[in-house]
Structure 1
Amino acid sequence: MPSMRSTESIFLRLERRGWPMDVAGIYVLDSAPEGPLDFDDVRTVFAQRLAASPVANRVVARAPLHIGEDRWTQADSIDLDAHMHHRAVPEPGDLSALWEAVLEVTGEPLDRGRPLWEAWYLTGLADGRAALVLRLHHAVTDGMGLLALQQLLFDRAPTPVSPDHEQAALVGRPHPSLLRRALVEVPSRLVGTTLAAIRLVDRLAHPASDQPPSLPGYLPSLTAPPPVTLFNRHVRDPRKSMAALSLPFDHVQAARKVLPGTTINDVLLSLVTGAMRAYLSARDDLPDKPIRTTCPVNIRAPGNDGSYGNHLTTMWVDLPVHLDEPVERLAAVHASSAAAKKALPRSRADWDSLADVGDLLLPGVVSAAMAFAGTRAFGLFPPTQNLTVSTLAGPREPLYLTTRRITNVFLRGVVCPPIHLFFAAITYDQDVHVTVTTVRELCPDPDALVDGMRVELDRLLSALH
């Protein structure tokens, strides 16, 4: 059985009840005179195309005696009835009702006894629209892998379902007994642990950059931590809140002219900064120094963007919520982002070191450490970050699920203690679709955050005149 990469097992160890670790795409489908697509048609698309995905039947094979490694195996069949579901969004069928339905159907972790994906077809939206929610566990793939799967399921032109088309066959793998796995994998884990220790010592002795040595970003800093905000508080209730907006891509692109040399990502981070400043200020929680976000970075080789798995590292960017003017904030974001990009070799080494630390410890020890991060006692340590901001470049032309045009693509972010706020942005067709996912106990009104992003964009554009 193929080994599970440490970065993949980390996402499994982070997960617990109420805190799912899956990537979720939300695809809003246009209406038609004949009404929403029939669920059977949606199911047929999955039945005919999923076999082409290498992750569609991937299943976790638990480590024998909890000493060896969790590994991947392939199921030889998929029960679509266990993975695909249909329900109606409650009245009035607006976007708020859609978000509530999405949070309800994605509120718990995926069943690890089956392939780690799930789809929900939601009807009952206003004006006859519908939505498809597609979940993929982060251990299986990252956001780029979700884009690869949507390319498999969706078309670039209306394509009627062909019910006569045969369902593609899946190829499974034999499952060895636990005893056989233990005899093979426990010794191999000892070898792997030794190699991980060697790699870790080598990275410490030979840093990835010529910058002064410093703690990895995922460890609390006692000298330069970000400020504590309301989003760093301990929570008891894992229920989430969610809001979204769509911004014209041309408007976001135009905002770059305010400060030549800035990128689309810089502008989006600046919009988040302005929104966070307004939100924290209104709640008497505005710090006098920048807050800090992590930004996942794709490290796939050029031309390999369609691959599955987790091929990412993280960069740490300061968001200057303490600055008054939008243009000043954009300039500071650009400078911090540029510095973070220069430090990417070190960030990638830090991420690899975290994976090696995971290899050095028993899975149960790592899981206990992850669980501790969600306790009140963990709040005694300085925070490592205040939020996460993820951006993805999706297709710049419309996609179709059979004959229905996909009008909007949103992403439900991953929220897991101690990080309780996730901004996810994806470019699709002519817009940038942004979603805020957070914890209801801390932020019952995430619409205020997306409204703040719109206001910040307007202020940047007004600076052009």
Structure 2
Amino acid sequence: MTTTVPSPNAVDGCFLSYERDEPRFRPYVGAVLEVTGSCPGPGPVREQIAERVGRMPSLACKVTRQGRRTVWELDPGFDPRRHVHEIVVEDGLPSLGRAVDALLGEPIGAGAPRWGVWLIHGYSPDGYALFYRAHHAAQDGQAVLDALTALFGVGPAVPPRQAMDDAPGGRGTGGARDPLAWVRNIPARAIAQNAADTVRGLRSTLTWAPHRPLTGRTRLLSAAVPVSWPRDVAKALGATPNDVCLAALAEAVRDWVPAEWRARPGRGRELHVGMPVSLRRPEERFAVGNRVSAVRVPLSYWAKSPAARVVAVARATRRVRTEGMRRVLRAQLECFPDWLVYRFVRQSCAASSAVDTSGLLRVPRRLAVGADPVEGVVPTLFLHGDHLFAVSFLSYQGRVRVSFTVDRALDDVGDLAALWAGAVERLWRDVTVGPADPLGPAGHARPAGHAGHASHSDSYASRTGENS
């Protein structure tokens, strides 16, 4: 099965060039796996990864130069055991949070495939963590989840499909083809909509002036809610769980922004997110590099009610999820020159472009390290430019987890993750139970089988003793 491509695509190249031009930029994506059990030490972890790495062949690929070209190729000296690192910490859960925050800013060397697993233990006798990190040039969010499933998934390996590059008449070099035939079949309406979105994307989104310099150092905040909450709201309002997560994000930001932060000029300006759209075909599951684009989506920040905001967000995202739009975005990924894509990426480093988000991703299988179950998965993103925070959403084993990567200059502002979890819970109660009687002594009724907010949303920072 072919696992390499002749050269990084335009998005891959952008992240490589951006890192070269901004040495402090850390374009890494990943996830913290919270494992229950007594830590086995790095040896068994290395052996499990070495045994399973063949399930994700692209993990053996690295970026090299061939003459004037940058290319992906298999690393002839690849040893997956060297990609596992050990960090021993003490002082209980607070030290886990500090270790994770420190790793967010650590570079991964360019001489080998740019991913790694950090085993963090010593903070608890019956728990430990694995922090999987990968360079965004090599892996997008879906590829990160595929890597986690390959290395730690319970059950048999996912069988590879025939690569399209190897199929007769495919898009590779092995068959006769018309390279523009699939582009010609893109609906004109989708092209026009995409062009309009691009023009609108030049307008500034809503942003604020915190009146303090950003540090460039980041911190991870996370919280979780039952997966049934966004699912129930989505079903009732004709939306998707991702729409509910985004609407709750807008409400959380409204509660989080201090009154003294003045919004930058622009009356009625809307808050937008750059919503990722996966362009990965089934046969590209093990391909190295990015198969993703993004479309700017308004969050109806000024909506009168949370439910109305969900409906408005659903209306905005519905057109993005069409196959026609995916084909337009795929055409851009494959046909736009590198310099133009790089210009778009660098433009996005301004906070006035849009909030960075992963969208709602799902880990489809149970994960484990040996016999030790992975109880929680916390996704991680990165900050760039003058963004205040980035946000990720992830569904795993009956819970939806949100994580915010926040600049440390904002440590005293508040816990965005806890605010998001509270916004989801209020939405769920309003939609499934009905608004609370303001004259009643108990507020919202609590249906049988559901505990209160505090037990269902556990902030990552507060669990590690790092909450402001």
- How far does residue 389 in structure 1 lie from its aligned partner after superposition? 4.3
Name the CA shift for 1:236/1:451 in 2 (closer, same or farther; >3 Å): closer
- Alignment match, 2:208: 229
- Alignment match, 1:132: 130
Question: 1:295 and 2:275 equivalent?
Answer: yes
Contact 1:244/1:447 (<8 A) preserved: no
Residues 268-327 of structure 1: CA distance to partner in whole angstroms, max 9, x if unpaired? 111111111111255544684420001111123358656553222212211122224211
- How far does residue 142 in structure 1 lie from its aligned partner after superposition? 1.1
Q: How does 1:48-447 map to 2 (within 5 A)?
A: 48-62=51-65, 64=67, 68-80=68-80, 82-94=82-94, 97-126=95-124, 128-156=126-154, 209=190, 211=192, 214=195, 217=198, 221=202, 224-230=203-209, 237-259=215-237, 261-280=238-257, 282-285=259-262, 288-301=268-281, 308-341=288-321, 345=324, 349=328, 352-353=331-332, 356=335, 358-359=337-338, 383-395=352-364, 397-441=365-409, 443-445=410-412
Q: Which runs of 5+ in 2 are unaligned?
A: 157-178, 434-468
Residues 225-279 of structure 1: CA distance to partner in whole angstroms, max 9, x if unpaired? 3223248x996521012100111112222222442x1111111111111111111
Q: Which runs of 5+ in 1 are unaligned?
A: 159-197
Contact 2:243/2:317 (<8 A) preserved: yes
User: 3-state SS of the aligned residue for 1:101?
Assistant: helix
Distance 2:199 2:46 in 1: 41
User: 3-state SS of the aligned residue for 1:293?
Assistant: strand
Contact 2:242/2:359 (<8 A) preserved: no
C-alpha RMSD of the superposition? 3.5
User: 3-state SS of the aligned residue for 1:314?
Assistant: strand
- How far does residue 426 in structure 1 lie from its aligned partner after superposition? 1.1
Residues 205-241 of structure 1: CA distance to partner in whole angstroms, max 9, x if unpaired? x9663636846649862xx43223248x996521012
- Alignment match, 1:13: 17
Contact 1:320/1:329 (<8 A) preserved: yes
- Alignment match, 2:163: none
Contact 1:142/1:308 (<8 A) preserved: no
Distance 2:7 2:219 in 1: 36
Q: Quick one: which amino acid aligns to residue 44 of structure 1? A: E
Contact 1:19/1:108 (<8 A) preserved: no
**Which has the larger displacement, 37-46 or 384-393?**
384-393
- How far does residue 407 in structure 1 lie from its aligned partner after superposition? 0.3
Distance 1:213 1:49 in 2: 40
Residues 142-192 of structure 1: CA distance to partner in whole angstroms, max 9, x if unpaired? 11111221222114279xxxxxxxxxxxxxxxxxxxxxxxxxxxxxxxxxx
Contact 2:243/2:310 (<8 A) preserved: yes
User: 3-state SS of the aligned residue for 2:93?
Assistant: coil
Distance 2:423 2:274 in 1: 21
- How far does residue 113 in structure 1 lie from its aligned partner after superposition? 1.4
- Alignment match, 2:416: 449
Q: TM-score under structure 2 normalisation?
A: 0.74
Name the CA shift for 1:87/1:454 in 2 (closer, same or farther; >3 Å): same
User: 3-state SS of the aligned residue for 1:76?
Assistant: coil
Distance 2:367 2:316 in 1: 35
Distance 1:347 1:75 in 2: 32
Contact 1:99/1:243 (<8 A) preserved: no
Identical counterparts, % of pairs: 21
Distance 1:307 1:214 in 2: 29
Q: TM-score under structure 1 normalisation?
A: 0.75
- How far does residue 105 in structure 1 lie from its aligned partner after superposition? 2.0
- Alignment match, 2:443: none
Distance 1:341 1:80 in 2: 37
Name the CA shift for 1:308/1:115 in 2 (closer, same or farther; >3 Å): closer
How many residues are paired up? 398
Contact 1:249/1:427 (<8 A) preserved: yes
Contact 1:148/1:308 (<8 A) preserved: no
Q: Quick one: which amino acid aligns to residue 14 of structure 2? A: I
Q: Quick one: which amino acid aligns to residue 231 of structure 2? A: Q
- The equivalent position to 1:39 in structure 2, one of 34, 38, 42, is 42
Contact 1:241/1:446 (<8 A) preserved: no
User: 3-state SS of the aligned residue for 1:300?
Assistant: coil
Q: Quick one: which amino acid aligns to residue 11 of structure 1? A: F
Contact 1:30/1:130 (<8 A) preserved: yes
Contact 1:142/1:309 (<8 A) preserved: yes
User: 3-state SS of the aligned residue for 2:290?
Assistant: coil
- Alignment match, 1:174: none
- Alignment match, 1:188: none
Residues 370-415 of structure 1: CA distance to partner in whole angstroms, max 9, x if unpaired? 77876xxx78xxx2213434221212x5321111100001111132
Contact 1:27/1:133 (<8 A) preserved: yes
Contact 1:293/1:318 (<8 A) preserved: yes
Contact 1:110/1:117 (<8 A) preserved: yes
- How far does residue 69 in structure 1 lie from its aligned partner after superposition? 2.7
Distance 1:101 1:322 in 2: 38
